[in-house]
Structure 1
Amino acid sequence: MEFVSKLLLAPMAAVLAVSFTGSASATKPWPPGMQTPVPVAEEGQTPPPRAPRQFFPEKRVQPLTPEIEQSLIPKDSFKECDVCPEMVVVPKGSFMMGTPADEPDRFKGEDPIHRVSFAKPFAVGRFTISFDEWDACLADGGCGRDKGDDKGFGRGRMPAQGINFVAAKSYLAWLSKKVGRTYRLPSESEREYFTRAGTSTTFWFGNTISAQDANYKASIPYGAGPRGADSKGPVVVDSYPPNPFGLYQVHGNVFEWTEDCFNKRYNENTPVDGSPWLEGNCERRMLRGGTWDWMANMVRAGYRENGIVGGGGYSFRVVRALNVPVQ
């Protein structure tokens, strides 16, 4: 990622380093105490949108200040400690959850389609939790000494695998305690919302998929899409292009846990405000995203899977609510 400049925001100069994305040329940092310059529109014109900002820590643990948190807008990103996951702000809004009857290879349980609305923006991990992040938790005495299972594919920036629901929650408890802010799993509706990222197609990139779009079993084509070579295993978490919200690999690679209990299909009790569905069979929880050795129909935005709480070789990404004003 290219950085144009690193800014110190008054009165936050001593709190977080800020960088901007966009131009390839770098500018000198603004002197301490100066406000971030805002693009000025000519009279009668709409002011241009500002570039996304990054708030990365200058010391090992550095939670967002209330002032910075309340200033966040979609596509801003932050880390609240040196080993914390990078979080991206996704916009408030609404979407139609579920899949239409004419979507190829859809499964029972992906209907009825219903509107879900999010009153406020929230932050989502830009990537699936990696083994680097998981191992940082282990090194700090957290995560219940559960090493996960890399299945011989390696650790580092590879997605943390072999993580059951209970272990994933132990990571979230460690992370929340470390920075003094609440991190959690996404709800199933949040997961579909930020996967679609404002689109209504089968995948965020369209109604077909290829091996250039995601990591899956590409030898079996989806709909009118092309046939490709099967994946040989999971890939590092920043592979493939990000979706319009700036999130990587929301389709394929590894399944990710959500907070929701297992229900076979949506019904009148399904939450429509983005909260998790905590009724049903809570010994099983919903999974989203698909995996590298499954076919394309099982990495669709609306595909629903479930796993036993105490088992399964899955992964996850994290969510953090934001203390921002409702507009």
Structure 2
Amino acid sequence: MLVTRWLAACVSFSLTIAAGLSSLAAADPVPGLVAAEPTTGRFVKTDAGYMVPYTATIPGTEIKFEMQPIPGGKFKFGSPDSEAGRDASEGPVLEVEVAPFWMASREVSWAEYKHYMRMHDMFKKLVLNETFKITDDLKPNLVTAPSNLYDPTFTFKLGAEPDQPAVTMSQFAAKQYTRWLSELTGQFYRLPSEAEWEYAARDGKTTKYFFGDDESKLGDYAWYYENSSETFHKLGTKKPSEWGLYDIYGNVGEWTLDEFTETGREKLAGKVIASQDAIVWPTKLFPRVIKGGSWDEDAAQCRAAARRKSDDDSWRSTDPNFPQSPWWFTEAAALSVGMRLMRPLTVPAQAEQRKFWDADIKQLQEDVAYRIDEEGRGARGIVTPDLPEQIKKIGQ
């Protein structure tokens, strides 16, 4: 019986890796895409149909999240029309062409992220129950779940209510969350690139903020240093952009895919480039790009073009483990960092999808393997759409 279950799980997993990921491009029906022009509400016309807002539910839960359609277009990446207030670290201004995509109307909440955190214990129980077996040849293809928190009181210091933004996760953990959600739902989710994030935050405008250049209006749309009382706030309590995005400025900063560099894009200046060609794929663990400002930053740092970089010493120096956690930060600066989902209209080929999800440098790959295999912190698991049923069968 156990052998039969293990073989069935391995077959299911093999189908997910060999064919399931490619099915992300061919899921039917496609959420948020309709054939007929809507008579009400926001929509984006494309060659594939009309993109509309949609609400998705995390399988096996009642937890919902909303996605908004973002139209394709060209924009000047890195600066408003005026250079006033622009920081030199924001690099050269590039003309970037962005393809249509959906972006989450709100930052990932604790309700969403805590369910993913549960996978740490669930994956371990599924292995002990022999529902599936983790073999060396499968390890590179598995989803990791973050280790249980070394000090939960720190991460939850500012609150951990279901409708508050999740914080202190590393970029790697954020990317693995998007992989877990993708393989669970059959839809391709990922972090936005810096260019995609900035394009969405501009709302089709060329000013510092989507509402203009007047900083005095920021409080209507954002929780930032002047009005936050030094903490983040419940999601969606300020006004959204015209594209339906709440808290795109302030509240918590948001991870992007990019490495933070002041010199990585000069060779692209003067050209019209696709947004994915503007990505600075990371070559080292730090620093990486966070966008949007936060509850702890001033108005200038909440501009669409503003950037923040992750930092090793000030983000995880009190982590007593070695190697330090690939999934969590332990310093106060990370209490202002979270994430937001995006989903492209055009799904990349199967071979390209993992580039958006997995550990991208050797050091990170080795740290993840050591923490899981040697220390037992963190877990790997097989994620397919029937994972909720597998969890139910072991009584969880």
The normalised TM-score by structure 1 is 0.70
Kindly indicate whether the alpha-carbon contact (under 8 Å) linking 1:255 and 1:288 is maintained by their aligned counterparts in 2.
Answer: yes
Other-structure match for 1:274: 275
1:175 match: secondary structure:
helix
Give 3-state SS (helix, strand or coil) of 1:85's partner.
strand
- Residues 70 and 323 in structure 1, CA contact (< 8 A), matched pair in contact too: no
Map of 2:257 onto structure 1:
259
User: CA-atom RMSD, angstroms?
Assistant: 3.2
Instruction: Answer yes or no: is the 8 Å Cα contact 1:203–1:301 preserved in 2.
Output: yes
Letter in 2 for 1:278: W
State the shift of 1:215 in Å. Answer: 0.7
Aligned to 1:244: 242
For the 8 Å contact 1:187–1:260, the answer to whether it is kept is yes
Residue-pair matches, total? 259
Query: What does residue range 12-161 of structure 1 map to in structure 2 within 5 Å?
Result: 50-52=39-41, 70-73=48-51, 75-79=52-56, 81=58, 82-83=62-63, 85-99=65-79, 102-118=82-98, 120-140=99-119, 141=122, 143-146=145-148, 149-161=155-167
What is the percentage of aligned positions where both structures have the same residue?
28
Q: What does the per-residue CA deviation read over 1:226-254, in whole Å, with 9 as the maximum and x for residues that have no partner?
A: xxx55331111112111111111111111
8 Å CA contact 2:94–2:268 kept in 1: the answer is no
Q: Distance in 1 between matches of 2:114 and 2:29?
A: 27
Contact preservation (8 Å) 1:128, 1:159: yes
Indicate how the Cα distance of structure 1 residues 151 and 244 shifts in structure 2: closer, same or farther if over 3 A, else same. same
The 3 A distance-change label for structure 1 pair 103 and 231 is: farther
Name the CA shift for 1:182/1:156 in 2 (closer, same or farther; >3 Å): same
Paired letter, 1:232: E
Q: What CA distance in whole angstroms lies between the structure 1 residues aligned with 2:71 and 2:249?
A: 20
The structural deviation recorded for 1:126 is: 1.0
CA contact (8 A) 1:146 1:167 kept: no
Distance 2:228 2:282 in 1: 37
Deviation at 1:104, TM superposition (A): 3.6
Task: Determine if the alignment matches structure 1 residue 186 to structure 2 residue 186.
Answer: no
**From 277, 283, 288, the counterpart of 2:286:** 283
- Structure holding more helix per residue: 2
| Equivalent pair of 2:191/2:257 in contact (CA under 8 Å) | yes
Specify which of 164, 170, 194 is matched with residue 164 of structure 1: 170
| Counterpart for residue 339 of structure 2 | 316
Give the letter for the 1:301 counterpart: A
1:103·1:202 contact (CA, 8 Å) conserved in 2?
no
Structure 2 contact 249–303 (Cα < 8 Å) conserved: yes
* Alignment partners' CA distance in 2, 1:146 and 1:248: 30
Per-residue displacement from partner, 1:163-193 (whole Å, max 9, x unpaired)?
A: 1112112211211121122211100000100
Superposition deviation, residue 139 in structure 1: 3.1
Measure the CA separation in 1 of the matches of 2:267 and 2:158: 44
- Secondary structure, in 3 states, of the residue corresponding to 1:115? strand
Give the letter aligned to residue 49 of structure 2: S
Provide the residue aligned with 1:296 in structure 2: 299
Separation in structure 1 between the aligned mates of residue 40 and residue 81 of structure 2, nearest angstrom: 40
Alignment of 1:223-238 (within 5 A): 229=227, 231-238=229-236
Pairwise CA distance, 1:138: 2.2
* Distance of aligned partners of 1:17 and 1:245 in 2 relative to their CA distance in 1, 3 Å threshold: closer
Deviates more, 1:150-159 or 1:303-312: 303-312
Taking the aligned partners of 1:286 and 1:243, their CA distance within structure 2 comes to 22
Structure with more relative contact order (C-alpha pairs < 8 Å, separation 6 or more): 2
Compute the displacement of 1:121 (Å): 1.1
Which sections of structure 2, spanning at least 5 residues, go unmatched? 1-27, 123-143, 313-325, 348-396
SS in 2 for 1:272: strand
Does 308-317 or 183-192 show the bigger shift?
A: 308-317
Q: Identify the residue that residue 200 of structure 1 maps to in structure 2.
A: 206
